[in-house]
Structure 1
Amino acid sequence: MSKRLASCTCGQLTAEVSGDPVRISICHCLECQRRTGSVFGVQARFPRENVAISGNSTEFVRVGDSGGQAKFHFCPVCGATVFYEIGGHEAFVGVPVGAFADPGFPAPRVSVYEERMHAWVAPPPGAERIP
């Protein structure tokens, strides 16, 4: 079973995952844009039992458009988000794909909140597109 290591910028907070993600998605919502400082967020979801967290994190809870909560865990030293928990999906842990610093990471298969997508962004061919 393959293993990958996600890390904050300073290396204090890590998430080691084993196996393949069950979902890789791009989110174009305005909150993901603000949270990442980019024009979308990219996350991979893994079964909770396949994720080992190490280090200290600070938690920020955000309520989404649907009323559901997301708990973002970020490094209290450098501020980078390393993992998050999505309300209603407790069996999984989300990890921002950029935290893996792996250009070979698989492409997203789902693209959500496309009504807020920047006009020049093009999701990968074949990605399921959810407005």
Structure 2
Amino acid sequence: MSQEHSRVKPNAHPEAEVREGEHSTIPHPPPEDRHEKLRYKPTPDTGWTAPIPSRQGGDTEHDFLTKPPYSWTSDKFVPKYFSECWCGNVAFEFHGDPVDAKHCHCRQCQHLHGAPFQWAVIFPKTSVRMIKNEDNSLHFFSTTKRSDEHHVPCKVSCDQCRSPIFDEGRNTVLAYPSSFKFEDGKVPKDFHPTAHIFYKER
């Protein structure tokens, strides 16, 4: 077994077969300098010059729908990725590449997603904008207040098909790659997770 596989094996099921493939090139754990580089990664200039919306959290930003990551415009915003809910009523576009990607194994993610873990890519909030909200299908859920309202941080989904789209935080958006539409059908390297968090709760 190679040195790289010996690092991967302890996190896998003891009897699981470890195989190489085209998506096994990112080392786990990530390189030691990976998170150091991310800490100083500059936020792309997408034309937003005002303070980051809802940065203080809560529900004080009453006109949030006209600001990032919702309906706003800028000539500097260059769409690179596109995501939408299952029924297509709600859609977003993303500028540039994600800052990072992770798998979260916390109990809350398991419960809310009905899945063993949450896979998310992190974008600056000003690198995201909504391009479709048919039949006013945009839906919010505050995990703090346990109510369907825009109270940051909150979960964003479609009210029609219930597809989860992303988590809105104070500075960033944690988008779900499963809702993205990639041109060649392959997940880009920048969407590959570099870390597992809350792994003890898996």
Instruction: Return the letter of the residue paired with 1:30.
Output: R
- 1:10 to 2:87 alignment: yes
What's 1:126 paired with?
A: none
What's 2:199 paired with?
A: 114
**C-alpha deviation, 1:70, in angstroms:** 3.1
With the length of structure 2 as denominator, give the TM-score of the two structures.
0.50
Instruction: Return the letter of the residue paired with 2:140.
Output: E
**C-alpha deviation, 1:82, in angstroms:** 1.1
**Secondary structure at 1:58's aligned position in 2?**
strand
What's 1:70 paired with?
A: 153
- 1:81 to 2:164 alignment: yes
Written as runs of structure 1 = structure 2, the 5 A alignment for 1:1-131 is 3-53=80-130, 54-55=132-133, 56-63=137-144, 70-86=153-169, 90-102=170-182, 103-105=186-188, 106-117=191-202
Q: Is the 1:2–1:20 Cα contact (8 Å) retained in structure 2?
A: no
User: Number of residue pairs matched?
Assistant: 109
Higher relative contact order (CA 8 A, sep 6+): 1
Instruction: Return the letter of the residue paired with 2:164.
Output: T
Give the RMSD, CA atoms, in angstroms: 1.7
Unaligned 5+ runs, structure 2 = 1-77, 145-151
Q: Is the 2:82–2:92 Cα contact (8 Å) retained in structure 1?
A: yes
Instruction: Return the letter of the residue paired with 2:83.
Output: A
Instruction: Return the letter of the residue paired with 1:41.
Output: Q
Q: Which runs of 4+ in 1 moved over 3 A?
A: none
Structure richer in helix, relative to its length? 2
Q: Percent identity?
A: 25
Q: Distance in 2 between matches of 1:29 and 1:36?
A: 11
With the length of structure 1 as denominator, give the TM-score of the two structures.
0.75
**C-alpha deviation, 1:91, in angstroms:** 2.2
Unaligned 5+ runs, structure 1 = 64-68, 118-131
Structure richer in strand, relative to its length? 1
